[in-house]
Amino acid sequence: MTALLYAAGVVLVALGIGLSIALHEIGHLVPAKAFGVRVTQYMVGFGPTLYSRRRGETEYGIKAVPLGGYIRMIGMYPPRAADPPGTIREDSTGLFQQMADDAKEWEAAQYDPSEAHRTFAALPVRRKLVVMLGGPAMNLLISAVLLAVLACGIGLPAPSTTIESVSECVVPADAPVGTSCEGRPEAPALAAGIRPGDELVSIDGTPIAQWSDVTTAVRGAGGRSVEVVVRRDGAETTLHATPIVDARPVIGPDGAAVTQADGTFATDQVGFLGIAPGQELRRASPLAVPQMVWQTFTGTAHVVIGLPVRLVEVAQAAFGSGERDPNGPIGVVGVSRLAGEIASADQPGFDLTAKIATLLSMLASLNMALFVFNLIPLMPLDGGHVAGALLEGARRMIARLRGRPDPGPVDMSRLLPLTNVVAIGFLVMTVLLLYADIVKPVTLFP
């Protein structure tokens, strides 16, 4: 059964990634066709074609390597300008110029000159932007929808009023995990008879509706005996506990511990009981979704901006004795392994609903990563074409202001050498992550 669940998790996430890629390309396809551009291919994947079918002027298909997709539009580069009459052209104009000329000649050979008005290069700047931003925008939309389903339909993890665990002793707030209880005082909650599984009803006369009520009541009761009413086995039981005054992390308005400039927790002398909450899924308001999308975007952008450094860390972990950063980049194999772990997990409290929520969160994060990554202003990414269109618009605006002739579209074929370097870099990154995911995988349950 575990193996079947593991396989089911891998298949479900693979289908989710494939659908995300397919919808990304539809985000390019629909506006391109709406603007009259002739699209010759719509493909999900790379490499040999597994299946294809032609509808009208477009071939739709699936390829063998599921690491992306593409649509092929005619005339991605502007045609080479004709030489003036009587001009004798040199056979060679340099390696880079020859590369650009060859690319433009190949592009021009794919369509009849009568279709020049249907090329991508012939589109106005604003339409080029719509076509190239359509793919990333689709991934952003998918991520937002999945986050909305997660937050408003399933619910987000939140501390419950049911006690998950009771500390055996009092240890400093900054003590490492696994610190021994030898020679340390017994935790007040354990001494009072509070048990894991107890549901808190009230503390010191304060009704408990959420975990923040527990924090407020306990921190204000340091050094004196208070009544703690719990619901145990369906009946209410009154216990008496004396929270000790101890240095505990300061809790900010967002419910998280406040961190100081040096990375340590800010602490305050407050009451300490020694209990930890369980987790429950709590549905959020739709008004909370935009904030979730923004937080996901900023977190993903932070990872992408620091990608070179993070890839060095991945290489050091893969070829050395270090551990992988669980919040660092992972490849397709790593994502598949995590999906299998999630689906087959047999952890207390990690039920089917929690598994579905985790998988949806993973797909939302992946789509946000596709959105952010594709906006990098480098060819062959969508962001490279967007940058070219913006440059074209700026050149034309400046020409109009100066009363000069239209300079025409930007010749992106001149960036082919840089494009090839970037493509090789992406290939190296893919291979590195593939190797690291095999020899030093990121695991959800160590």
Asked whether residue 237 is assigned to any structural domain, the reply reads: yes
Residue 25 annotated as catalytic: yes
269-296 pLDDT, tens digit per residue, is: 777 888 888 888 888 889 999 999 999 9
At residue 65 the predicted structure's pLDDT band, cuts being 50, 70 and 90, is confident
pLDDT confidence of residue 391:
92
For residue 175, what pLDDT is reported? 66
- pLDDT digit string (tens) for 387-435? 999 999 999 899 899 989 888 888 888 878 888 888 899 889 989 998 9
If one compares 204 and 133, the residue with the highest pLDDT of the two is 133
% pLDDT > 90, the chain: 31
Residues 234-256, mean pLDDT to the nearest whole number: 75
Higher pLDDT, 349 or 342: 342
In-domain check, residue 209: yes
191 located within any domain? yes
Q: What is the pLDDT of residue 446?
A: 62
**Average pLDDT value over all residues in the chain:** 85
- Tell whether 271 is covered by a domain: yes
pLDDT value of residue 87: 47
pLDDT grade, residue 24 (50/70/90)?
Answer: very high
Read out DSSP for 263-311? SSBPEEEEEE--EEEEEEEE---GGGHHHHHHHHHHHHHHHHHTHHHHH
| Position 215 in a domain | yes
d(CA 188, CA 30): 64
For residue 85, give both structure tokens.
């009459």
Residue 443: name the closest of 341, 366, 369 by CA.
341
| DSSP state string for 107-157 | HHTTS-GGGGGGSSTTS-HHHHHHHHHHHHHHHHHHHHHHHHIIIIII-EE
What pLDDT does residue 38 have?
94
Cβ atoms of residues 314 and 439 within 8 Å: no
Identify whether 266 is part of a domain: yes
Which range in 139-143, 323-327, 414-418, 434-438 is most confidently predicted, on average pLDDT?
A: 139-143
Question: Is residue 141 scored above 90 in pLDDT?
Answer: yes
Residue 39, both tokens: 């699209």
Residue 45 token pair? 């994947």
Helices (H), 180-288: 188-192, 211-219
pTM of the model: 0.81
Q: Residue range 355-381: average pLDDT?
A: 91
Residue 82 clears pLDDT 60, i.e. is over it: no
Q: Which is catalytic among the residues 25, 107, 341, 392? A: 25
Integer Cα distance of 10 and 100 in angstroms: 42
Checking if the pLDDT of 252 tops 70, the result is no
Please check whether residue 167 lies inside any domain of the structure. Answer: yes
In a domain, 333, yes or no: no
| CATH code where residue 195 lies | 2.30.42.10
User: How many domains, in total, are found in the chain?
Assistant: 1
The set of residues, in sequence order, having a beta carbon less than 8 Å from that of 60 and lying 6+ positions away, is 41, 42, 43, 52, 53, 54
pLDDT above 70 as % of the chain: 89
387: left (phi over 0), alpha (psi -120 to 50) or beta: alpha
pLDDT at 88: 47
pLDDT the model gives residue 81: 58
Q: What pLDDT was estimated at residue 373?
A: 92
* Strand pairing class (235-241; 226-232): antiparallel
The whole domain housing 273 covers: 158-175+185-282
| pLDDT for the residue 33 | 95
- State residue 329's pLDDT score: 86
What's the whole-number mean pLDDT along residues 354-373? 91
Poorest-confidence range of 193-197, 199-203, 272-276, 379-383?
A: 272-276
Mean pLDDT of 213-218: 84
pLDDT in tens, 161-190: 888 888 888 876 666 666 778 778 888 888
